[in-house]
Amino acid sequence: MRFPYGPAALSMLVLSILSGLWLAFNPARRPQATLVMWTFAKTHYDAYKQAIPAFEAKHPGVKIDLQLVSWQAVTSRLQAAFLSDLDVPDLVEVEISAAGSFFRGPLKDVGFLDLTDRIKQSGLYDRMVQARFAPYTSRGRIFGLPHDVHPVMLAYRRDLFEQLGIDPNKIKTWDDFIAVGRKVTIPGKRYMLELPDSESSRFEPLLYQRGGGLFDPQGNCIMDNEIAVQTMLFYVPLVAGPNRIASDLGGGQIFTKAVEDGYFLCMIAPDWRSKTIEVDVPKMRGKMALMPLPAVYPGGRRTSTWGGTMIGITKHCKNPDLAWEFALHLYLNKEDLAQRFRDTNILPALKEAWDHPAYSEPRPYWSNQPLGKLYAELAPHVPFQYTSPFVATAKGKLSEALVACVQYYKTHGDRGFEEFVRKRLKQSADEVRRLMRRNPY
């Protein structure tokens, strides 16, 4: 019998039937894991891989599937997973700047489990640095357990400081720092500090250091308050104008080259970045050191915070108690945390963990300074960093305001600068508030 539509159509039909049958009899393997967890940091992934066997041994039959999802993709993948109710992980680590966007809408519709009661009943609220719950809190409810504290210090080229006769112990305030910076900065060749003039990633820690922020505890946008204005008036002359002492070239290889060349003498360095510097600029081993952030005024706060990660349990999790136990296993085991600190330099949010000897070990890269001890001493003073579902927008608007202020200062200098800063910050804040007003919830 001849197929009436020719051999081409027949072969298509046969192929489609065969492939359909093959798919029907070989369905995609269903995940066997009891808990699926996403993390975006390779360092976390490597550390958790080591911690999983102990948990699985303690819970026979339980299988943990740990997945590394790129930092750029984790937010959109999680949003899409929540939207489609497909492939939603049981636990997720979310970066601090993205966390707020998951707390939109009514509390009942937030994709993460409300962990407030578990955290308070277990005493973790007091055992961890309380300031670190703020970024993962919305309307008084806590949706994530903080992974870290990320206190901020200044990393500096110790060898060049010595050559230039700079005594870091004499730098107590930003005024001291600027005075030294003006002496040693050579425009286009050497700058006292690495600070960008085109985005706000390092403006924000300096804003927090002064007690400011993007939002207040109630979620109101406060990025145009007096603290923000004063921070901007302080920051812009550091990166623009004739007396600038700071510059920025970018990350990666160019950063490596710039540090090696002595283009920057100091860098804002939260604990995680101290590891980045170690890895990216290995030739500077023994030539680098850390000092507390200069204070805004004598006796003021000598640190701030930059970055962060939370672990959250999604509402799709079928076994939230087991997931909670696993989260605690990852975040509370002192021995594991100590090893993780050695590997990543990241200070955990659990205060009692800092007593471990690992945190007092001298680090050859940092001129044998006890890295953990230095950061741990500053950790209790880390400022609160409140969030909102509109945090990503606010960060963008703050960057826009910074760029506009830098442009103004480059053109007009001090003339009318304060008035411009107030006006521009208010404009940015009003744009955030305008978006927030659209929120019908």
Partner 1 sequence: MATRETEISIVRAPRTSRWFVLQHRLAPYLFVSPFLILFATFGVYPIVKSLLLSFYVTNGPKSAVFVGLQNFAFLFSDPDFHKAVWNTAVFAFWSVFLQLPMSLGLALLLNSLWVKGRELLRLAFFSPNLLGQVFVGVLFSVLFIPQYGLVNRFLHFIAGIPTDTKWLSNPDLVMPALVLTSLWMYVGFNMVYFLAALQAVDKDLYEAATVDGANAWHQFWAVTLPGIKPVAVFVLVMSTIGSFQLFELPWIMLNNSAGPDQAGLTIVMYLYQTGFVTGDLGYASTVGWTLALGVLIISLFQMRVTGAWKGGAD
User: Which positions ≥6 away from 108 have C-beta within 8 Å?
Assistant: none
Question: What is the spatial distance between Cα 224 and Cα 212, in angstroms, rounded to a whole number?
Answer: 10
Interface characters, 262-281, with partner 1 (x: CB under 8 A): -x------------------
In angstroms, rounded to a whole number, what is the distance separating the alpha carbons of residues 225 and 204? 14
Of the residues 147, 389, 409, 417, which one makes contact with partner 1 according to CB under 8 A? 389
Collapsing DSSP to helix, strand or coil, 416 comes out as coil
Assess 6 for contact with partner 1 (CB under 8 A).
yes
Binding status of residue 408 toward partner 1 by CB under 8 A = no
Residue number with CB closer to partner 1 (317 or 337)? 317
CB of 21 to partner 1, least distance (A): 15
CA distance 348 to 372: 10
DSSP letter for 314, please: B
Q: Do residues 313 and 112 touch, judged by C-beta distance below 8 A? A: yes
Please tell me the chain's helix, strand, coil percentages from 3-state DSSP, rounded to the nearest 5: 55, 15, 30
Least Cβ distance, residue 401 to partner 1 (angstroms): 9
Of 78 and 358, which has the nearer Cβ to partner 1? 78
- Segment contacting partner 1 (CB under 8 A): 193-201, 229-237, 276-284, 362-370? 193-201
Q: Does 254 bind partner 1 (CB under 8 A)?
A: yes
**Rounded distance between C-alpha atoms, residue 398 and residue 200, angstroms:** 7
- From residue 15 to residue 54, what is the string marking binding to partner 1 with x (rule CB under 8 A)? -x--------------------------------------
Tell which residue, 99, 148, 111, 92, has the closest CA to residue 372.
Answer: 148
Measured distance CA(47)–CA(186) in Å, rounded: 42
CA gap 48, 52 in Å, rounded? 6
Interaction residues for partner 1, span 69-128 (CB under 8 A): 72, 75-76, 79-80, 82-83, 98, 101-102, 104-106, 109-111
Pick between residue 5 and residue 125 the one whose CB is nearest to partner 1: 5
Q: What are phi and psi of 306, to 5 degrees?
A: -150, 120
Considering only 128, 155, 214, 258, the residue that binds partner 1 (CB under 8 A) is 258
Determine the interface stretch with partner 1 among 224-232, 363-371, 379-387, 395-403 (rule: CB under 8 A): 395-403
CB of 412 to partner 1, least distance (A): 17
- Count other Cβ atoms within 10 Å, centred on residue 83: 10
Judged by CB under 8 A, which of 257, 285, 412, 415 binds partner 1?
Answer: 257
Please identify, among the stretches 68-76, 119-127, 230-238, 321-329, the one whose residues bind partner 1 according to the rule CB under 8 A. Answer: 68-76
Rounded CA separation 182/192 (Å): 8
Q: Kind of pairing, strands 141-142 and 137-138?
A: antiparallel
DSSP-derived pairing of the beta strands 152-157 and 264-270: antiparallel
Enumerate binding residues for partner 1 (CB under 8 A): 2, 4-6, 9, 12, 16, 72, 75-76, 79-80, 82-83, 98, 101-102, 104-106, 109-111, 188, 196-199, 247-250, 254, 257-258, 263, 389-390, 392-393, 396, 399-400, 403-404, 407, 431, 438-441
